[in-house]
Amino acid sequence: MGSSSIRLMPWINRKIVDPVLLILQTGTEPKQLAFSTALGITLGVFPIVGVPVFLCGVAIALLRSLCHAPSLMLANFISTPLELSLVVPFLRFGEVICGGPHFPLTSDALKKVFTGQASREVLLSIAHALLGWLVASPLILAILYVALLPCFKLLVHKFSALPSSPKMLSHSHPEVKLKIRDV
């Protein structure tokens, strides 16, 4: 493995694995964790970069005790690479729904978006991507919830008895930490 992966592993442990373990220790119900995580990912793949964090904030404010805010925000954070990879599929899905023309993804179109010179076609393509996400999001939420619920039931059962001290957390259950293997 390269040196960049060696430096990446402590970051993944600190930013993802440790928070997940802390979340599992809170005693939150698996249904709430599954719903919150599914909602965080669903909102996190919204096809306009930067908007998902605001959507998650609105969802937390509206749902209050129905969702687990740390799970929702962590899922939103983790889904960022997925968000970037799903912009084009949402765009194409929106085009299919509307029966609209196929928007050519060229560097010129991207340049116009970044410089604020978006033409009607670019704005229409953004609307298509939003429509694609809007239609797909209930299905994404439902599939993620169904898939995550058994996982959280198992994880909550396994890790809810962990010590709550962060110092003890780093030394207990070392099998949870992602390890780099020598190849």
* 86: containing domain: 8-160
With respect to residue 116, please indicate whether it lies within any of the assigned structural domains: yes
The tokens for 77 are 């954070």
Give 57's pLDDT tier (boundaries 50, 70, 90): very high
pLDDT tens digits along 127-165? 999 999 999 999 999 999 999 999 999 999 998 765 554
Length of the chain: 183
pLDDT tens digits along 88-109? 999 999 999 999 888 888 777 7
Q: pTM here? A: 0.80
With respect to residue 166, please indicate whether it lies within any of the assigned structural domains: no
Give Cα separations from 38 to 6, 45, 47, 140, 142 (angstroms): 30, 11, 16, 8, 8
Nearest Cα neighbor of 154 from 9, 24, 36 is 24
With respect to residue 173, please indicate whether it lies within any of the assigned structural domains: no
With respect to residue 66, please indicate whether it lies within any of the assigned structural domains: yes
Count of domains forming the chain: 1
Residues 113-150, buried b or exposed e (16+ Cβ, 10 A)? eeeeeeeeebebbbebbbbbbeebbeebbeebbeebbe
Torsion, CA 163, CA 168, CA 172, CA 176, rounded to 10: 90
- Within 13 A of 52's CA, how many CA atoms are on the CB side? 27
